[in-house]
Structure 1
Amino acid sequence: YLNEFKQAGADILTVHIEACTHLHRTICAIKDLGMKAGVALNPHTNVSLLQDIIADIDLVCVMSVNPGFGGQKFIENTYKKVATLKNLILQNNSNALIEIDGGVNQNNAGKLIEAGANVLVAGNFVFSSANPIQTIADLKHT
């Protein structure tokens, strides 16, 4: 389905490492189509699995809740995982961004950025707030 995503206008495509039998082949195919390539990790998937591919990817999405539905509680081990991932990126001279998805809010956004995150996904927190625009602005200044 990679070409369909490209034709639909995708600039970056992220695949879950747990669902991808041939990760390197998939990353190369995404890049061959002119898109940036990302890899998502479930909460309890070890960062070390990215060792051989970190230089080839543009983004790592760290799931900070178990995938499936919004509104779940943030998994505290995420901070350590982000710091470990940041070290892996630096050690391999990679430019990969670190994205956090799940349970992001005003209480953990700053600490996630301090740990090394570049991108925060705060869907439920933003869209369940009384003023989503203000909530986004507040997160940007965390």
Structure 2
Amino acid sequence: MVTNPIDYVEPMGKAGASGFTFHVEASKDNWKELIQRIKSRGMRPGVALKPGTPIGDVFPLVEAETPVEMVLVMTVAPGFGGQKFMPEMMDKVRILRKKYPSLDIEVDGGLGPSTIEMAASAGANCIVAGSSVFGAPEPAEVISLLRNSVQKAQQKC
């Protein structure tokens, strides 16, 4: 999470990034301009929200004339790897999935073999996994398990 995400759009675009996700908390005053800049650099805009931020804070960004294309629900406080997954954040995922059936919904924080089913069944279709993959003896197996869980949950929708 950075305090002035608009300052990073051009450098990230030049570096070849395909997407740019910013925190709603850091862009309350300029999110429309931020989304337009992200798109003008050929990147896909996404918005993230911390656990303590109400889900309604992202609705205007999803419903805007130039909307974000993905919402990232943080399932831990941003900034430190290896934190414990907060299952109560799945209510936010369920609300987003019901309100926006085709929206990409990403979850980040504490995702691994023991938590993926909760996230996938709530409606998350994009997963960020760090410690559970990089700390595993067989990272490819964990990635496969995560991917399969999300695919199975999507088939049920």
Same topology, TM > 0.5: yes
Matched position secondary structure for 1:140? helix
- The aligned residue for residue 35 of structure 2 is 27
Stretch of structure 1 that moved more, 25-34 or 63-72:
25-34
Structure 2 unaligned regions, length at least 5: 1-7, 150-157
CA distance in structure 2 between the partners assigned to 1:39 and 1:70 by the alignment: 20
- The aligned residue for residue 59 of structure 1 is 70
Structure 1 unaligned regions, length at least 5: none
Contact 1:27 1:37 in 2 (8 A): yes
Matched position secondary structure for 2:52? coil
Stretch of structure 1 that moved more, 49-58 or 98-107:
49-58
Figure out how many residues of one structure are paired with residues of the other and give that number: 138
CA distance in structure 1 between the partners assigned to 2:13 and 2:103 by the alignment: 20
CA distance in structure 2 between the partners assigned to 1:29 and 1:140 by the alignment: 31
1:107 to partner: Cα distance: 1.6
- The aligned residue for residue 119 of structure 2 is 112
CA distance in structure 2 between the partners assigned to 1:77 and 1:131 by the alignment: 29
* Equivalent residue for 1:47, pick from 40, 49, 55: 55
Contact 2:97 2:103 in 1 (8 A): no
1:141 aligns with 2:152: no
CA distance in structure 2 between the partners assigned to 1:49 and 1:35 by the alignment: 22
CA distance in structure 2 between the partners assigned to 1:62 and 1:12 by the alignment: 16
Length-normalised TM-score, structure 1: 0.91
Contact 1:71 1:103 in 2 (8 A): yes
1:36 aligns with 2:44: yes
Q: CA RMSD in A?
A: 1.3
Length-normalised TM-score, structure 2: 0.83
1:96 to partner: Cα distance: 2.8
CA distance in structure 2 between the partners assigned to 1:45 and 1:138 by the alignment: 30
- The aligned residue for residue 85 of structure 1 is 96
Matched position secondary structure for 1:40? strand
- The aligned residue for residue 87 of structure 2 is 76
